[in-house]
C-alpha cells in the first residue's frame, strides 16, 4: 500500500498539536513495510486515546468525526482507497475503539487481496469487540493458516470450537478437531494431533 496517506495524516495531526508515533519515516516503501506502519499507527493511537477506550460509537454531537467516517465510506465506494484510508485513520485517532473505521480498512484489504493486512485488521476488530461468533473466529483462523501463522490459527480455532453451540455430529457442523489435528501435524506435534481427533469421535450427542 502506498504511504501517501501518511503525509496528509501527519500534517493534520501536527496542525492539531498531536505528534504521531510511526516506526518509519515517510518514504516510498514496499507494501509489507507500509502494512507494518499502518498497524503501528493503530496500536499507538489505541494507547494514546485511553480516555475514549469505552466509546464504541461516535457520539451524535461529534458531527466532524461522523462526517469524516461518512467520507471514508464514500471514498471507499469510489475505490479511492488511499483517501478512504486517510479518513479512517483520522477517525481511529479520535475514537480508537470504534470499529466502523477498521471495517472499512478491512474491506480495502479484501479488495486488494492483501491477506496479511486483512488478518491484522481482523485481529484488531476482535480485540476491540471480543465477538466470539464461531464464524468470525474461523475466518481469522483460516486466514492465519493460509499465511502460515499456525500458532495464531490454532488460538482462534480453539476459540471458535469452544463457542460453537452446535452439538458434535450436527449435519454441516465445522470439523474443528480435524483442522486442529492438521495444524498440530504441521507443527510436528504428532501425539497431540492424534489426541485432537478423539474428542470429536467420542463426544457425539
For the segment 95-107, the average pLDDT, to the nearest whole number, is: 93
- Whether residue 183 contacts residue 148, with contact meaning beta carbons closer than 8 Å, is answered with no
Please tell me the predicted confidence (pLDDT) of residue 168: 83
Q: What is the mean pLDDT of the chain?
A: 78
Lowest mean pLDDT among 27-36, 90-99, 172-181, 195-204: 27-36
Number of neighbouring beta carbons within 10 Å of residue 123 = 16
Q: What is the pLDDT of residues 134-186, one digit of tens each?
A: 999 999 999 999 999 999 999 999 999 999 999 888 898 999 999 999 999 99
Q: What are phi and psi of 202, to 5 degrees?
A: -100, 0
Mean per-residue pLDDT for 21-30? Answer: 29
Once rounded to an integer, what is the mean pLDDT over residues 97-117? Answer: 94
- 142 vs 118: CA distance, rounded Å: 12
Contacts of 143 (CB under 8 A, 6+ apart): 115, 118, 119, 122
Find out whether 156 and 144 touch, Cβ atoms under 8 Å: yes
Q: SS3 of 113, please?
A: coil
CA atoms of 187 and 13, how far apart (whole Å):
44
Instruction: Give the pLDDT confidence of 33-76 residue by residue, as tens digits.
Output: 555 556 565 555 555 444 444 567 888 888 999 999 999 999 99
Output the pLDDT for position 31.
Answer: 46
What is residue 175's three-state secondary structure?
Answer: coil
In degrees and rounded to multiples of 5, residue 49 shows phi and psi of -115, 40
Supply the pLDDT for residue 48: 46
How far apart (Å, rounded) are the C-alpha atoms in residues 88 and 68?
8
Q: What is the DSSP letter of 167?
A: P
Residue 3 DSSP code? S
Give me the half-sphere count of Cα atoms (radius 13 Å) on the Cβ side of residue 205: 7
Cα separations (Å) of 32 from 3, 36, 81, 88?
11, 6, 17, 19
Q: Grid coordinates standing for 191?
A: 501425539
Least confident of 2-16, 68-82, 122-136, 151-165: 2-16
Q: Which long-range contacts link 164-172 to residues 24+ away (Cβ below 8 Å)?
A: 164/134, 167/204, 167/205, 168/199, 168/200, 168/203, 168/204, 168/205, 169/204, 169/205
Residue with cell string 493458516: 145
Amino acid at each position: 500500500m502506498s504511504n501517501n496517506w501518511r503525509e496528509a495524516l501527519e500534517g493534520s495531526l501536527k496542525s492539531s498539536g498531536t505528534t504521531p508515533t510511526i516506526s518509519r519515516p515517510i518514504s516510498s516503501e514496499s507494501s509489507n513495510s507500509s502494512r507494518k506502519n499502518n498497524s503501528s499507527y493503530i496500536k499507538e493511537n489505541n494507547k494514546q486515546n485511553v480516555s475514549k477506550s469505552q466509546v464504541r460509537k461516535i457520539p451524535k454531537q461529534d458531527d466532524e468525526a461522523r462526517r469524516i467516517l461518512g467520507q471514508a465510506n464514500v471514498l471507499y465506494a469510489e475505490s479511492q482507497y488511499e483517501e478512504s484510508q486517510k479518513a479512517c485513520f483520522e477517525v481511529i485517532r479520535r475514537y480508537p475503539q470504534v470499529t466502523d473505521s477498521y471495517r472499512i480498512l478491512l474491506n480495502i484489504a479484501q479488495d486488494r487481496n492483501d491477506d496479511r493486512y486483512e488478518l491484522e485488521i481482523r485481529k484488531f476488530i476482535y480485540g476491540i469487540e471480543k465477538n466470539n461468533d464461531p464464524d468470525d473466529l474461523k475466518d481469522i483462523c483460516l486466514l492465519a493458516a493460509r499465511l502460515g501463522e499456525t500458532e495464531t490459527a490454532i488460538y482462534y480455532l480453539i476459540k471458535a470450537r469452544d463457542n460453537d453451540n452446535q452439538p458434535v455430529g450436527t449435519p454441516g457442523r465445522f470439523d474443528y478437531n480435524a483442522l486442529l489435528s492438521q495444524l498440530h501435524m504441521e507443527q510436528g506435534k504428532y501425539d497431540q494431533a492424534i489426541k485432537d481427533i478423539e474428542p470429536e469421535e467420542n463426544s457425539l450427542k
